[in-house]
Structure formats: structure tokens, C-alpha cells
A = this chain, B = another copy of it.
Amino acid sequence: MNLLPNWLSQRAKVTPNRVAVDLAAESITFLQLHKRVVKRAFQLASYGIKKGHTVAIYMKNRIEYIELIHALAYIGAKALLLNTRLKQQEIQYQCSDAKANFLVVDESYEETILLSGTELIQLQDLIYRHEKEIVLQSQYDLNDTYTIMYTSGTTGNPKGVMQSYGNHWWSATGSSLNLGLQTNDCWLVAVPLFHISGFSILMRNVIYGMRIVLHSKFEAIQANAAIETKGVTIMSVVTSMLTQMLKELGGRKYPESFRCMLAGGGPVPRVLLDDCIEKGIPVYQTYGMTETSSQFVTLAPEDSIQKLGSAGKPLMPCQLKIVNANGEEVMNGIEGEIAVKGPNVTSGYLNKPEETDKAIKNGWFYTGDIGKLDEDGFLYVLDRRSDLIISGGENIYPAEIESTLLKHPLIAEAGVTGLPHKQWGQVPAAFLVVTSPIKKEELQAYCQSMLANYKVPKYYFIVDDLPRTASNKIIRRKLPQRIEQGRQL
């Protein structure tokens, strides 16, 4: 029961002439996509990439990204998806931790230092590469790992989340059982493909046989144009994207065929919801994470006002419970840790059995997020795990920034938390105890050399000490209280 035909090759057989991907300049059918992917697979093979290898990808949204993803499945290799905002040190860490054999990059890759143990392939070289014919994998074992995406937990270094073919299948079908699936459906991809939010659309693309429109990056004006003129019916967004789109939309309305804004990254604020209702835009709010291979809980538009702030109810294959500190399930109305279970949940963290055992017990994944269920079973997420900061749809983990700051010779203590921001929802702010005076420019330059830009703190406060628990752990939620007594750089 765990073997499925390769989804792209099945689509090339079953619905060969349907449009798979719409780009600015061309439309590619499933059969055409299959043929391009086979060529890419043979080109990749000529570098020595083979079954069982791990291949990292550092590329912006582009058709070659899609081709590579499917080509790796045909080869039987795993894909390590790198955030294109990562800096050299972060790339090096992830490639080395995942034992990536190759790293494919496009021109957005500006680093020049060679990675040890990982061979670099330039996309421009790959495109004109000769082909080496190999036997293609015609089916998947659903338990096999397909993709690896890194995410940080409560402490320290990012961990590689293993996502299997089955995780992606179950996520896609679970979503379709919730949102429905129409013949004319078309999903706009304006979120990064290296995130599960974007990648999961590629999976729905081949599993549903559904057209997608691919944008290289999000631009409100282009996104609206795609909805208004390209037959887009569904789009994945985060709050900041939705805000920009509504502003650009002004007095116009979307066509009636547009049926779903799938909004992730935290609850949509009331004013924005009201604006959407006025314009007749159905917003489905979601809760999910890299470990659940996309959405796990969704809130239907009809419940969005009555259940304001809620993330909704689990998808069909998904179970959810709230547990107390002893791991016991609590009643509706009581706060606790959110634990989830389902075939779309990761089997664990790559090469980290201890971290895996800590997170997954008896098939339940403990998210670290705090939440409660109301009397009708609707989930409210009260606090993201490890004080997660969500900034313009990017997850930022304070622990990672803190550990970077602590490496600076003049910093004795560092605490990071999110502060509200009009455009991005939140931005990271650093609270520092220093051994000597230090300038903001110096700190920023230091952080920019070590961290992706979105992780670089926007504010720095010099304080006498940090709020801590009895066991000396930083209480990050209390950091904002130090703003007044601190000195902002």
C-alpha cells in the first residue's frame, strides 16, 4: 500500500495535455514538463548524481526549480531546500549537516567560498550539460524521504526536517478534502518554493493535475493581475502579502471564480478580514509548520468572524490534542502544548535521533506551541514555540540570533524577541548586556555577515540584565518590559 506511481509521470500519462505551469512567457503541459524533467534528470546524472544522494538547491522561484525537484524524484535523490536569504555560514552548516553531495545554485548565489564535501553546480552549466541516460524511478515508496527543510527549535542550531513522499501526498489530499478540487482550479505561487508553503503547491500541482501560475517573487500588482486575468482560483499568502494586495486592489474586485486565499503565518487581523469580506474574498486561515508538511488546521471563511483569532479545525487525516506539562490531554478551554498526529507529520529530524525522540512520542509530534481548543473544538494558537518570531512569512528563531550575538567579543548576554511592525507583522529586537560600549553600525555589520537579512535585529537595546527564570533561562516574552529602562542604540 506504500507504492505509488511517480506523480509527474502519471500526470504525463493520464492528463498529458493539461497545462501544468503558467509562466510569464509560456505555458507548459504535464507531458512537456515530464519531458523537460527527464532531460534534467539525465543532465544531473552526468555529474554523478544518483539514487540515495542528497542535492541542495539554492535558487529563486523559476521553472528550473520545478524541473529539478521532479528530476531528483526520477533519480531517487533527496532535495535539500535552502532559503535563498541564507548566508555562507548558514548554507555551509545545512549542507554539511545534511551531508549534501551536491549544491545547485542559480545566479542569486553570490558566495564564492567552496563548501567541503559538497560539489557546486551552476544552473547555467547544468542547462547546457550533456545527458547521461539512467533508469528512472517509476514509483515512490511513500516512506522514503523526498525533501529536507531546516527549521530551528527551542535551542541552538537548525534541524533538518525530513519530509517523505507520503507526507506530501497526505498533505495534498488532506487539503483537497477541505478546500475541494475544481476542474478550473489554478494556484498562484508567489511564496518561496524553498518553504513548505510554496513547495506544497508543487506537490498539489502534480497530485491534483492542477495548473499553477509561478511568480519569481511576490509583487502585489502582479499577484492581483494573475487573479484578475489568468484564472487563478487559489493563492497562498501571509498577512503582509494580503495587506499589500488589498491596498493595490483599491476599489476593484476579484472575479467570482477566485475562491480561496490560504493564509498562513498567524491569525489574520480583524480589520484585514473585514476588508476581505467587503471585497468578497474568502480567506482560509491555517496553522501548520515544516514538520506537518504544510497546513494541519484550517479555519473556513464562514467561521472567521465568529471564531476570530482561531486557526480552525484539523484536516481530515489529522489528529490534534492539547496536553499539560505531564503529557496528559486536557479538556477544551484549558491551555497547553499543541500535539499533532497524522500521515503528513514528519518522521523526524535528519541524523538527530535524540531531538526526534524528544519531539515525537507515540506517534504524536509535540509542536512546542501553546494553544487551546474552545467548546466547539476550534484551535486557538496562543504562543508559538520557542518564542518564534514571524516576520513577513519567514520564521525567525530567537535562539539562533542570540547564539550568533553571543559570539561577539563585547556581548555578555543576549535576548531576542519580536516587536510589532506595521509591514512585516513582527521584527526581531535584541536586548544586550555588553562588556564595553558598542555601536549600532558595528552590531549590524556583524549580524549581516552571519545571518540572513530578515534575521538581523532591527532594534538593539543595551540593558543591565535580562529577565530570567529561577533556572536562569531567559524569559523572552518579558524582554519588551526592558525597553524603557534600556538604552536604544
A interface residues (Cβ-Cβ under 8 A, vs B) = 1-5, 7, 10, 13-14, 139, 142-143, 164, 166-167, 170, 173, 176-177, 180-183, 207-209, 313-314, 316-319, 341-343, 363, 377
Contact = CB atoms under 8 A, between A and B. Distances in A.
A343 B139 CA distance: 13
A14 B313 contact: yes
A4 B342 CA distance: 7
20 contacts: A1-B2, A1-B143, A1-B164, A1-B167, A1-B343, A3-B343, A7-B316, A14-B314, A139-B319, A173-B173, A173-B176, A173-B177, A176-B181, A177-B181, A177-B207, A177-B208, A177-B209, A180-B180, A180-B183, A207-B316
B4 A317 contact: yes
B177 A180 contact: no
A5 B142 contact: no
B316 A10 contact: yes
Contact of A13 (B208, B317, B341, B377): B377
A280 to B, nearest CB: 16
Nearest to A313: B14
Contacts of A317: 4-5
Tell me which of A166, A181, A341 has the highest count of chain B C-beta atoms within 10 A of its own C-beta.
A181
Nearest to A164: B1
Q: Is the interface of A mostly helix, strand, loop or mixed?
A: mixed
Contact of A1 (B4, B166, B377): B166
A299 to B, nearest CB: 11
Nearest to A182: B180
A176 B7 CA distance: 16
Contacts of A166: 1
Contact of A363 (B3, B177, B363): B3
A402 to B, nearest CB: 28
Contacts of A209: 177, 316
Nearest to A139: B319
Nearest to A343: B1
Contacts of A142: 1
A183 B317 CA distance: 18
Given A176-B181, A183-B180, A314-B14, A319 B5 contact: yes
A182 B180 CA distance: 5
Nearest to A344: B1
A5 B167 CA distance: 16
A317 to B, nearest CB: 5
Contacts of A318: 5
A142 to B, nearest CB: 7
A287 to B, nearest CB: 14
Contacts of A164: 1
Contacts of A2: 1, 343
A318 B312 CA distance: 33
A377 B30 CA distance: 15
Nearest to A7: B316
A142 B317 CA distance: 11
A139 B343 CA distance: 13
A319 B13 CA distance: 11
A275 to B, nearest CB: 24
Contacts of A377: 13-14
Nearest to A172: B177
A319 B10 CA distance: 9
A207 B173 CA distance: 11
A409 B342 CA distance: 55
Contacts of A316: 7, 10, 14, 207, 209
A343 B343 CA distance: 15
A177 B170 CA distance: 13
